[in-house]
Protein backbone atom coordinates (compact mmCIF):
# COMPACT_ATOMS: atom_id res chain seq x y z
CA UNK A 1 0.00 0.00 0.00
CA UNK A 2 1.44 3.38 -0.91
CA UNK A 3 2.04 6.19 1.58
CA UNK A 4 -0.82 8.36 0.38
CA UNK A 5 -3.39 5.60 0.83
CA UNK A 6 -2.01 4.70 4.27
CA UNK A 7 -2.23 8.34 5.37
CA UNK A 8 -5.71 8.72 3.89
CA UNK A 9 -7.06 5.67 5.71
CA UNK A 10 -5.30 6.64 8.94
CA UNK A 11 -6.47 10.27 8.89
CA UNK A 12 -10.02 9.30 7.98
CA UNK A 13 -10.08 6.92 10.94
CA UNK A 14 -8.53 9.45 13.31
CA UNK A 15 -10.92 12.16 12.13
CA UNK A 16 -13.96 9.96 12.69
CA UNK A 17 -12.69 8.87 16.10
CA UNK A 18 -12.03 12.50 17.10
CA UNK A 19 -15.46 13.52 15.83
CA UNK A 20 -17.21 10.90 17.96
CA UNK A 21 -14.95 11.60 20.95
CA UNK A 22 -16.02 15.24 20.75
CA UNK A 23 -19.66 14.19 20.99
CA UNK A 24 -18.97 12.37 24.26
CA UNK A 25 -16.97 15.07 26.05
CA UNK A 26 -19.16 16.11 29.00
CA UNK A 27 -20.25 19.73 28.60
CA UNK A 28 -19.66 20.16 32.34
CA UNK A 29 -15.91 19.82 31.68
CA UNK A 30 -15.94 22.85 29.40
CA UNK A 31 -15.47 26.39 30.68
CA UNK A 32 -15.35 28.99 27.89
CA UNK A 33 -14.05 31.62 30.33
CA UNK A 34 -10.64 30.01 30.87
CA UNK A 35 -7.65 28.96 28.79
CA UNK A 36 -7.58 27.67 26.09
CA UNK A 37 -11.04 28.92 25.13
CA UNK A 38 -10.98 32.41 26.60
CA UNK A 39 -10.45 35.09 23.99
CA UNK A 40 -6.96 36.58 23.95
CA UNK A 41 -6.61 40.35 24.00
CA UNK A 42 -5.27 40.49 20.42
CA UNK A 43 -8.40 38.68 19.19
CA UNK A 44 -10.49 41.71 20.16
CA UNK A 45 -13.65 39.68 20.84
CA UNK A 46 -13.21 37.82 17.56
CA UNK A 47 -12.78 40.90 15.36
CA UNK A 48 -9.17 39.89 14.70
CA UNK A 49 -10.47 37.11 12.45
CA UNK A 50 -12.47 39.50 10.28
CA UNK A 51 -9.23 40.56 8.57
CA UNK A 52 -9.06 36.99 7.22
CA UNK A 53 -12.62 37.26 5.90
CA UNK A 54 -13.98 34.64 8.30
CA UNK A 55 -17.43 36.23 8.22
CA UNK A 56 -17.66 35.60 4.47
CA UNK A 57 -16.26 32.07 4.22
CA UNK A 58 -17.31 30.45 7.51
CA UNK A 59 -20.58 29.19 6.01
CA UNK A 60 -18.78 27.69 3.02
CA UNK A 61 -16.50 25.23 4.85
CA UNK A 62 -17.48 21.61 5.43
CA UNK A 63 -19.84 21.42 8.40
CA UNK A 64 -20.21 18.10 10.23
CA UNK A 65 -23.68 19.10 11.47
CA UNK A 66 -24.86 18.97 7.85
CA UNK A 67 -23.25 15.58 7.24
CA UNK A 68 -24.44 14.03 10.53
CA UNK A 69 -27.55 16.08 11.47
CA UNK A 70 -28.85 13.45 13.91
CA UNK A 71 -25.58 13.35 15.85
CA UNK A 72 -24.46 16.98 15.79
CA UNK A 73 -26.92 19.77 16.56
CA UNK A 74 -27.33 22.42 13.89
CA UNK A 75 -25.37 25.56 14.60
CA UNK A 76 -28.52 27.60 14.50
CA UNK A 77 -30.29 29.09 17.46
CA UNK A 78 -33.65 27.38 17.67
CA UNK A 79 -36.39 27.71 20.21
CA UNK A 80 -35.39 29.12 23.57
CA UNK A 81 -32.37 31.37 23.14
CA UNK A 82 -31.54 31.32 26.84
CA UNK A 83 -31.14 27.54 26.74
CA UNK A 84 -29.41 27.22 23.38
CA UNK A 85 -26.73 29.92 23.73
CA UNK A 86 -24.76 28.35 26.62
CA UNK A 87 -24.83 25.00 24.82
CA UNK A 88 -23.68 26.56 21.55
CA UNK A 89 -20.83 28.32 23.36
CA UNK A 90 -19.64 25.02 24.83
CA UNK A 91 -20.01 23.33 21.43
CA UNK A 92 -17.62 25.91 19.94
CA UNK A 93 -15.11 25.05 22.67
CA UNK A 94 -15.36 21.33 21.95
CA UNK A 95 -15.06 21.86 18.20
CA UNK A 96 -11.97 24.01 18.70
CA UNK A 97 -10.44 21.46 21.08
CA UNK A 98 -10.95 18.60 18.61
CA UNK A 99 -9.36 20.56 15.76
CA UNK A 100 -6.34 21.40 17.94
CA UNK A 101 -6.01 17.77 19.05
CA UNK A 102 -5.97 16.65 15.41
CA UNK A 103 -2.62 18.43 15.01
CA UNK A 104 -0.97 15.65 17.04
CA UNK A 105 -1.98 12.31 15.43
CA UNK A 106 -1.37 13.62 11.91
CA UNK A 107 2.36 13.55 12.68
CA UNK A 108 2.21 9.75 12.43
CA UNK A 109 1.83 10.23 8.68
CA UNK A 110 5.52 11.16 8.62
CA UNK A 111 6.28 7.51 9.33
CA UNK A 112 3.49 6.13 7.12
CA UNK A 113 4.77 8.09 4.14
CA UNK A 114 8.40 8.98 4.60
CA UNK A 115 9.87 11.91 2.76
CA UNK A 116 8.25 14.86 1.06
CA UNK A 117 4.85 13.18 0.61
CA UNK A 118 4.37 12.76 4.35
CA UNK A 119 5.50 16.32 5.02
CA UNK A 120 3.01 17.64 2.46
CA UNK A 121 0.14 15.59 3.92
CA UNK A 122 0.92 16.75 7.47
CA UNK A 123 1.23 20.38 6.39
CA UNK A 124 -2.01 20.36 4.38
CA UNK A 125 -3.95 18.54 7.10
CA UNK A 126 -2.85 21.05 9.71
CA UNK A 127 -3.51 24.01 7.42
CA UNK A 128 -7.02 22.74 6.67
CA UNK A 129 -7.80 22.55 10.41
CA UNK A 130 -6.86 26.19 11.05
CA UNK A 131 -10.01 27.70 9.46
CA UNK A 132 -12.20 25.60 11.78
CA UNK A 133 -10.31 26.88 14.81
CA UNK A 134 -10.63 30.44 13.51
CA UNK A 135 -14.39 30.04 13.06
CA UNK A 136 -14.84 28.88 16.66
CA UNK A 137 -12.65 31.68 18.03
CA UNK A 138 -14.54 34.21 15.90
CA UNK A 139 -18.04 33.10 16.86
CA UNK A 140 -17.61 32.22 20.54
CA UNK A 141 -17.00 35.81 21.80
CA UNK A 142 -20.00 36.99 19.80
CA UNK A 143 -22.20 34.31 21.39
CA UNK A 144 -20.81 35.09 24.86
CA UNK A 145 -21.48 38.81 24.40
CA UNK A 146 -25.03 38.08 23.25
CA UNK A 147 -25.58 35.97 26.37
CA UNK A 148 -24.15 38.74 28.59
CA UNK A 149 -26.49 41.29 27.00
CA UNK A 150 -29.44 38.98 27.65
CA UNK A 151 -28.40 38.55 31.29
CA UNK A 152 -28.15 42.32 31.76
CA UNK A 153 -31.66 42.78 30.36
CA UNK A 154 -33.26 39.99 32.41
CA UNK A 155 -30.89 38.34 34.91
CA UNK A 156 -33.59 36.05 36.33
CA UNK A 157 -34.44 34.57 32.93
CA UNK A 158 -31.03 33.01 32.42
CA UNK A 159 -29.82 31.99 35.87
CA UNK A 160 -29.94 28.27 35.10
CA UNK A 161 -28.38 28.72 31.66
CA UNK A 162 -25.10 30.39 32.70
Does some domain include residue 161? no
C-alpha distance across the termini of the chain, in Å = 51
Does some domain include residue 160? no
Domain extent at residue 53? 3-155
Does some domain include residue 137? yes
Does some domain include residue 55? yes
Does some domain include residue 162? no
Q: How far is CA 84 from CA 55, 106, 161, in A?
A: 21, 33, 8
User: Which tens digit of pLDDT belongs to each residue from 67-92?
Assistant: 777 766 565 666 677 778 999 999 99
| pLDDT of the residue at 156 | 62
| pLDDT of the residue at 83 | 76
Number of domains in the chain: 1
Distance CA 122, CA 144 (A): 33
Residue ranges in the chain modelled with pLDDT below 50:
160-162
Neighbours of 58 (CB within 10 A): 18
| pLDDT of the residue at 82 | 73
* pTM (predicted TM-score): 0.85
Q: What is the mean pLDDT of the chain?
A: 88
Amino acid sequence: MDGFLKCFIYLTSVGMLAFFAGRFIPKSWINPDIFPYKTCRFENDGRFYEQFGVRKWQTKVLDMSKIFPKIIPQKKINGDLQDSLPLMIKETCIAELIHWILFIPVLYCLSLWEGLGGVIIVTLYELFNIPYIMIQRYNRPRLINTLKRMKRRDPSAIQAAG
